[in-house]
Amino acid sequence: MLPIVPTDFTPWASLAGGILIGLSAVMVMAALGRIAGILGITAGAATGPDRDWRIAFVGGLLAAPLLWALVTGGFPAQVVGGNLPWMAVSGLLVGIGTSLGSGCTSGHGVCGLARLSGRSLAAVVTFMAFAALTVFVLRHSGGV
Amino acid sequence: MRAAAGFLAGLVFGLGLLLSGMANPAKVLNFLDVAGAWDPSLAFVMGGATVTAFVGYRLAWRRARPILMPSFDLPTRRDIDRPLLAGAALFGIGWGIGGFCPGPAWTALPMVAPGTLVFLPAMLAGIWLGRRAKAAPLMQGA
């Protein structure tokens, strides 16, 4: 639940960022032979074998905005919803859903589609449809 | 070495999220708002990431084994079952409410927006709950 904040269309920055995400997935595959799915990495950082590289990966995710700020002098533009009960519900659903569905935007979306996995395609179509539907309901149907 | 590779890959992933706009929930929600303030930028993120991974994976798989591990370990399941679809639907609803998926939630954490500080622990609790739900009888079978 976030007021509608206009954002600019940024095809080049988004394409470049996407290529970096893809490169990261390739690094994980080439070096470690694993899928760079953030859900799996998060869950695997808590338990299971190969915790070391997964914890380090999360450390890299956390270090990224700090490096960004060091180089550019500030954090990138970001507007996060301030309705905290809704953010809690959102986080809970994202956690349960990705865990139950064995993957998120990166695991099913980037890595799964790159592997031409039918399971991942089914997941991606489903979560994109439900996400768009949710935004439609919250923004255009009189709200909840 | 494995930890160093993991850290570097996480750093590149996080920078990609920041540069692309994926770590900005306002942008994610506008991408999902096809009927309103539609911002198609994130299609370029998904496209760029997937095509890069598609090509890079095939280069990586030319080796008999990964550089730092004894073998590749890839998902083998092919069935489209109830937990997969139910989970994806719940994830979609949550994503549509807050505009965060797991990677951006981690990367946004050091920027300490109150919404992120609430979202991330709730997500971690949800991951734990989801793991338990997956073992429940309701979710067994197709």
Q: What value of ipTM does the predicted structure carry?
A: 0.96
Instruction: Read off the pLDDT of residues A22-52 as tens digits, 9 standing for 90 and up.
Output: 999 999 999 999 999 999 999 999 987 889 9
User: B43 vs B39, B64, B92, CA distance in Å?
Assistant: 9, 33, 16
Q: Which residue of B has its CA nearest to A39?
A: B102
Low-confidence residues in chain A, pLDDT < 50: none
Instruction: Read off the pLDDT of residues B27-76 as tens digits, 9 standing for 90 and up.
Output: 999 999 999 889 999 999 999 999 999 999 999 999 999 999 999 999 99
Structural domain spans, chain B: 1-74, 79-142
Q: Residue A5: list chain B partners with CB under 8 A.
A: 26, 30
Q: Residue B107: list chain A partners with CB under 8 A.
A: 61-62, 64-65
Q: Closest Cα of chain B to A85: distance in Å?
A: 8
User: A141 vs A4, A123, A135, A144, B36, CA distance in Å?
Assistant: 14, 26, 10, 8, 12
Q: Residue A127: list chain B partners with CB under 8 A.
A: 88-89, 91-92, 95
Please answer yes or no on whether B10 and A9 come within 8 Å at the CB atom. no
Check CB contact of A72 with chain B, cutoff 8 Å: no
